[in-house]
Structure 1
Amino acid sequence: MTRLPAAMATPSVTPAGSVPKGKRADFLTGNLVSDTPEEYVRQNIEKALVRQYKYPAADCEPEFPIKVGSSKKRIDIAVFTAGNAHTQANVRVIIETKRPETKATSRTEGIGQLHSYMAACLNAEYGMWTNGDDRYCFAKRPSSSGGWVFEEIIEIPAHAQSEEDAQRPSRKSLVVATADNLLFAFRRCHNYIAAHEGKQKTEAFWELLKIIFTKIEDERSPKINFYATPSERANTALASSAKKRIQSLFKDKVVRKYPGIFEPRDEIIDLSPAVVAYVVTQLQNFSLLLSPVDVKGVAYEEIVGSNLRGDRGEFFTPRNACRMAVEMLDPQPMERVLDPSCGTGGFLITAMNHALAAIERDQRNQWLDPSNGSDLERQELYRRRTDYLSQCVFGIDLNPALVRAAKMNMVMNNDGSGGLWQANTLLNPHAWNPDLRQRIPLASVDVIVSNPPFGANIPVDDEEVLAQYELAAVWDEGPDGEFSIRRDRFNVPVMQRSQPPEILFVERCLQLLRPGTGRMAMVIPNGILNNPGLTYVRRWILSRAQVLAVVDMNRELFQPKNDTQTSMVLLRRLSAEEETVAAKEGLDYPVFMAIAEKIGHDKRGNTIFRRTPEGEEVLVLRTEQLQQIDQESGGEVFETVTVTEKQVDDDLPDVADAYRDWLASQA
């Protein structure tokens, strides 16, 4: 049994000191600051200024003091004219960040405060006010009376970018989202639609997804046409032009390309022109295709989860749990991957991107210049990616809304949406869609990742469904401790009246796996593993599969929505020969077991951070390679980013590392 308490777990990144409780390291200066809701907003903007807007960190300063009349004030973030001294006269951009509940109309902390600071800094040209959920950008213009007017604009210019280019995006000017800034943008759009359209929550959500999807498809085109001008956003009459442009893109590029997601009745974006123009301006400067998977995933899954989370035992698997399971299973290129209860696709996207990363590494290692392939080399990489996505990635879910959302999520994360179906995985495969039945016959899948719906309140009681499963039968324990299926006088198995779906999913998944090599990771309620009344289930599993690993998950894994105690169980389907041996004498093999005491959040869903024995929060250096858009050529380039941040108190990456080490020791 591997136990990984927080104080003993080995960090997966480089240690970089610690900070006292209630403090955090400022992104720009490294100085300790109070960890408040307002500071959370400011740190996201600081990261955006450097990574998205490309301002040198040396030209930015938080808490910069200025004089406003006879008073002394502090600008939350000041951006100075490139390379010049940090003086009030050299301030070019002023950013005011506020805690989320602050109103833009507040007399003391609202937009008026930003305007007064911009007026006091004579050379300040631009300003931004944000509380995370709301965001306003302004340009300062001279007025006819000798003063200033503050004109709302769509976006402040990036470093070395003109104001005109900032308002009308080109491929070169698109930025990769960092931290939670895409989450803030999605949330702003969602809230704006809710406030300005008389629609039900779910209806408004689908209209937002239409616009997001249009944005993604437009990025695949040679010329960027997904935009709204400042005048279109400011003027209701002119907003019609923006809606007409976006509507045309949606109909021509999205509906026709993805008939499995959008039907002809969906081809109208049912939002007012003014709302369309606003939403477009919040998204137009991002590159959704190149933004990191986790950044997109957090943003997308928040709005999906708040709108589509169902009442059928559907609790979306946290991304860190998905990553742990996938790292342990290590799906390889050209292995067929399936999630038979895919929800919005989180598990499947994690597995898909794991294999795609292996494909990319392999191809780049064959390039003359691994950082920049030739046209032919890139074409071969694209061909291998396309083959994998079209042949190896599959998902099924009963909820049609979740399948639709999963298809959108897949397209936003490298595609692969063609292999998703709406179906009841537990039905007899003969009742499945013919295409699904042909693409995923039983005993054909290499890797399964799944968090099936579970709970006694959603029993499966259809006799035809139950008749397919040995685990739906009544099992009797003999005097020798062996279990057998109870049969009637005609030797027909006696079936239970109902069975929780998670038990049937275990059997169905093993049926789907390739004998001998197929392996799976499944979130399973601990009752299956320790309830005396379910001993027959455990005995059946041992007769059909090798237990590779059992990871006891913290009870807070699905909090704040569900507190069921669960484990991540990894199984390999036995071959026919192994089943024979298992039935006669059993199989003897080691099993990796671990307890994940920390899973990165508490029962309220709040992130928790790792602490030193003295109670200070651990700081780490994290280095990652991000795709960016070259400002000269418009092509894709890689940039290595190193940041100092608090380490999330999460044992799951350590469990995956320990499992890989354990596997190596078994070889």
Structure 2
Amino acid sequence: MADGDIALKPEEGVRQTIIRELARMGWRQDQLLWKPEWPIPNAPHDLTKRERGQKYNICGTADLVAFADDSQKPHAIQVIFEFKAPDIEAGKDQLTRYLSSEPLAKMGFWTNGSETLAIYKRHSADWVEIKGAKLPAPGDDLTQPPDEPPTWNDLKEPGEAELSAVLRRIVATVVAGDSRVNRREEQLREILHLVLVKLESDAVYSRSTNRDTPVDFRIYGDNLSKITLTAHRMRELFQDYFTRQRTRIFHPDDRAELLLSDETIYAVVAELWPYRILGDDIEILSKAFQIFRTSALKSGEGQYLTPLRIIRPAIMALEITSQDKVIDPACGTGGFLIEALRQVSAREFPEEAEAWTLVKWANDNLYGIDKDDIGVKLTRAEMVAMRDGSTHVLMGDAVRVNQWPTKYSKLADELGSKETFIHEGFSVVVTNPPFGEDLKVSASDCRDAGYTISRAASKKPGKHADLEIGLVYLELAYRLLRVGGRVGIILPETYFFSKKYSWLPTWLQTRFKLRGMLNIPMEAFEEFCRAKTNFYIFEKIEQPKKPARKDK
């Protein structure tokens, strides 16, 4: 270390010396950030604000941060460096505080130029401290699993920002590093298959009798064997899960093996094992996956996650009971269906001895449809883990009924075709459909599927018009419902107040009565869209009878 650097400005001299040494070890310049210094969030809710791009409070700034890639994003943080504190104990306190507030950082490193200290996270409220530690090199394994196999009680319940960041980091790991799977859709599928193993492990060990037993989803082996043994065990667990759930969760082209490399499987497990991802707050997992899918693959498709603060009161307002037959024809990751299942369970079947009744109701009366195979698979897995109801979660295009017999035979088998479309089958339709002016069902598809709403929107009498898909879902809901049934649907406010849609009240008045409306603040969907929406509750009414024709 150059004496002149330290004499001139001690902390800055130490920092510049460390930066030069890290560069010599192979860290790239774009992986290191010190100008400006990295702001550390003050509390968990500040993590969420940062995730949403909002202003947040900080508890300090890190002297230097090393990232896994060149993104310099929170999910990629590897190491936090500190040089300010005058002694090792003060340095340890500061690092521990910063590592607690940056949940994705793997390691903290402190030095004053003569002493060094490395701190690794254990994820179970304890830390590994190494005095006199060497600087971390790029590619070092910074994971520190517990000395004893973790139980459910050792796992941490993450916040939404933390789990979202974990999934961003996982996809970055797979995209950047896996040597066996290269296509994005295949990578996403393989990540989901590992997450299903995690979901199953959480479902099993969250039950009270298993909370002190080592969980299945964890790191296996010692430092020399942990990559190979962990990957081997995950492959075994997935094969077992696939065998048991093949017909209930998986698609026909899925295989009973994980295609990712051993190194990638280990990296994913090392990121995910410390957290409880299946808990009471169903929004955490759904939101994390929605953010992941939106940023990685699905942007621009017009379908936005419904936050739990909207889902929960919406399902309450619909007053769903075990007498209802419920469908969400745009179920996404299953938020409405899972909340309906949860509320019916809590109100009507709270005892464990009644679980079989709940399972029967769910399997007979909960339906979901979505075009996205990832969302369908995740919904099925969540519902299996939360007392089933996965039987009728179907993949396909719900609105293009004319395509069911040829493209989505399962939908045709379950719900019928255009000619024999199921009428009066459901008492509740609840959905947050895709919407947007650029997301339309063509006039020809509307005509072939028999939608009257596109004819009502047309400026040419007797002709169909291209129509926003959200409005087509409104007629789909009408066709799915029995008379007296209710639909709860999230739609843009503009549909009901703009002159452009002045034809809509006339179409509605012979089909629906408005029974209620929940205001949805614009910030509810702020991560994804800026449209002002509401949750509308309509009741299906009987069509007025046409007067009998008089004989001439």
For 1:469-484, list aligned pairs within 5 A. Answer: 469-474=451-456
* Structure 1 counterpart of 2:193, one-letter code: K
* Structure 2 counterpart of 1:386, one-letter code: V
Partner residue, 1:373? none
User: 217, 236, 247: which one pairs with 1:226?
Assistant: 217
- Flag the 1:38–1:202 CA change in 2: closer, same or farther, 3 A: farther
Partner residue, 2:137? none
Partner residue, 1:441? 422
Partner residue, 2:77? none
Partner residue, 2:191? 208
Partner residue, 1:301? 290
For 1:644-655, list aligned pairs within 5 A. Answer: none
How far apart in 2 are the matches of 1:196 and 1:66?
36
1:274-332 deviation digits (Å, cap 9, x = unpaired): 22123223333444444532333333333233334243322232332222322221212
1:413-470 deviation digits (Å, cap 9, x = unpaired): 5543222112222233773534321699321212211122223323222535425122
Partner residue, 1:75? 93
- Flag the 1:320–1:287 CA change in 2: closer, same or farther, 3 A: closer
1:58-84 deviation digits (Å, cap 9, x = unpaired): xxxxxxx99836x8546148xxxxxxx
Partner residue, 1:253? 241
How far apart in 2 are the matches of 1:305 and 1:409?
20
- Flag the 1:117–1:219 CA change in 2: closer, same or farther, 3 A: farther
How far apart in 1 are the matches of 2:530 and 2:457?
29
Partner residue, 1:84? none
* Structure 2 counterpart of 1:470, one-letter code: T
How far apart in 2 are the matches of 1:252 and 1:115?
53
1:255 CA displacement = 4.7
Kept in 1: contact 2:122–2:145 (CA 8 A) = no
* Structure 2 counterpart of 1:347, one-letter code: F
SS in 1 for 2:513: strand
Q: TM-score of the superposition, structure 2-length normalised?
A: 0.68
SS in 1 for 2:482: coil
CA RMSD across the alignment? 4.4
Partner residue, 1:217? 200
Partner residue, 1:456? 437
SS in 2 for 1:250: helix
Residue segments in structure 2 that go unaligned for 5+ positions in a row: 1-39, 46-54, 63-83, 134-139, 205-209, 548-552
User: 485, 489, 498: which one pairs with 2:466?
Assistant: 498
Partner residue, 1:88? none
1:572 CA displacement = 0.8
How far apart in 2 are the matches of 1:174 and 1:37?
28
Kept in 1: contact 2:432–2:489 (CA 8 A) = yes
Kept in 2: contact 1:141–1:151 (CA 8 A) = no
Partner residue, 2:391? 418
1:137-161 deviation digits (Å, cap 9, x = unpaired): 6365999xxxxxx9966345xxxxx
- Flag the 1:174–1:212 CA change in 2: closer, same or farther, 3 A: farther
Partner residue, 1:515? 483
1:216-235 deviation digits (Å, cap 9, x = unpaired): 2244557743332362xx44
- Percentage of matched positions with identical amino acids: 18
1:515 CA displacement = 0.7
Kept in 1: contact 2:42–2:57 (CA 8 A) = no
SS in 1 for 2:294: helix
1:601-640 deviation digits (Å, cap 9, x = unpaired): xxxxxxxxxxxxxxxxxxxxxxxxxxxxxxxxxxxxxxxx
Partner residue, 1:656? none
Partner residue, 1:540? 507
For 1:11-26, list aligned pairs within 5 A. Answer: none
Structure that is richer in helix per residue: 2
Residue segments in structure 1 that go unaligned for 5+ positions in a row: 1-21, 28-33, 42-64, 78-93, 121-125, 144-149, 157-163, 364-377, 478-484, 487-493, 584-667
- Flag the 1:297–1:402 CA change in 2: closer, same or farther, 3 A: closer
Kept in 2: contact 1:451–1:522 (CA 8 A) = yes
User: 54, 57, 65: which one pairs with 1:36?
Assistant: 57
- Flag the 1:254–1:113 CA change in 2: closer, same or farther, 3 A: farther
SS in 1 for 2:491: strand
* Structure 1 counterpart of 2:401, one-letter code: N
- Flag the 1:316–1:114 CA change in 2: closer, same or farther, 3 A: farther
For 1:323-334, list aligned pairs within 5 A. Answer: 323-334=312-323
Kept in 2: contact 1:66–1:75 (CA 8 A) = no
